[in-house]
Amino acid sequence: MGLLVNRVSKHELKERLKKESIKRKTVSFYKYVKIENPAALRDELYKQWFEWNCFGRIYLAGEGINAQMSVPEENWEAFVAHLYALPYFKEVPFKHAVDGNGKSFYKLILKVRDKIVADGIEDPDFDPANTGQYLDAKAFNAALDDPETIVIDMRNHYESEVGRFENAFCPDADTFREELPLVVEHLKGKEDKKILMYCTGGIRCEKASAYMKYKGFKDVNHLKGGIIQYAQEVKAQNLESRFKGVNFVFDERIGERITEDVLSVCHQCGTPCDTHVNCKNDDCHLLFIQCPVCTEKMNGCCTDTCKTIAALPLEEQKARRKGRVKNGPECLAVYKSRLRPNLKDLLANENSLKITV
């Protein structure tokens, strides 16, 4: 069987999405379940979902599935019926986006990985199914009122920067596998305390809760369905949202607003702002926070160097990118001084990276 992938260019796919008139649902779902042949299941799902014009980013592994998708409303019932008919995913819960018009993805990406969440855990005795206790929005809010409770954000630093629960410990990490040891160290000596964990959709804190139990912590709890489901329950039940700001999401929207609170600042001028962008220089694409004034001033770029490169003719930009490493020294300096000032040794080899204008 040939490799099932979408060969149409990114630009053309985005243009098609802009012109689409159909309505779509943006959903996410995951499940830890033993899958015998992820590669075969991947091809089966890809063929059917491609036929239904589904988009998204889905990872399959021997330990389960992790999916963020955009599904046409006209095919939604067929999509659910097909998924639930598979023994692996019977009645897997869906989390629906808080906002957006469904145009969150522009193509279908379905990959097989070693794990659906890279955790760096190699211990064969660790059981990810032995999770902590689930808490819904109401119970989570009640637990937050206990001054002895310890709240842990199991997301990356750029996610917690724009939105978080009150008094949460937010690890200064780029990946989930980096966060786990930081959290264990932070909780050292607090094995008897009540621990609350949360993440975007629940998948990371579910595994993290099992890991904390494995490490000897006794009262481990995590937010069911993550921030996405929390926001839905808060709205439906007229509860106070103890999560403030923007929930960072890994699709074209980048973030969905939960409350009007702005917790971060523009990385270029320091004014209140929580809009993440990617540098418009295709040789960089640094993720950072940029206000509308700086977006106009810098043409959507992170540095003057990138602004100059992005203004070059497209063919010249492509020629320059051949064999180059993304993010030159100036971009890295901005990243460390404005985004991550406490990480002095972010990249040991930064002096080897070159961008010349």
Active site residues: 199
Kindly state the greatest CA–CA separation across the chain.
Answer: 61
Of 134 and 353, the structure prediction assigns the larger pLDDT to 134
Nearest to 284 by CA among 267, 269, 300: 300
Residue 356 has pLDDT above 80, yes or no: no
Residue 335 has pLDDT above 60, yes or no: no
Residue 131 has pLDDT above 60, yes or no: yes
Give the chain's domains with CATH numbers: 22-112 (3.30.70.100), 133-237 (3.40.250.10), 264-352 (no CATH)
261-284 per-position pLDDT tens digit: 999 999 889 999 999 998 998 888
Residue 5 has pLDDT above 70, yes or no: no
135-144 per-position pLDDT tens digit: 999 999 999 9
129: Cα within 13 Å, side-chain hemisphere: 6
Cβ count near 221 (within 10 Å): 22
Nearest to 255 by CA among 225, 227, 279: 227
Which segments within 249-317 are labelled E, that is strand?
255-257, 276-278, 287-289
Nearest to 145 by CA among 2, 242, 262: 242
**DSSP assigned state of 322:** T
Tell whether pTM > 0.85: no
Both tokens of 182, joined, read: 């930081």
Kindly state the percentage of the chain with pLDDT values over 90. 53
Kindly state the percentage of the chain with pLDDT values over 70. 82
pLDDT of 10: 62
CA angle 54, 56, 61 (to 5 degrees): 110
10-24 per-position pLDDT tens digit: 666 666 666 767 888
298-324 per-position pLDDT tens digit: 999 988 888 988 888 888 877 777 755
- pLDDT band for position 333 (cuts 50, 70, 90): low
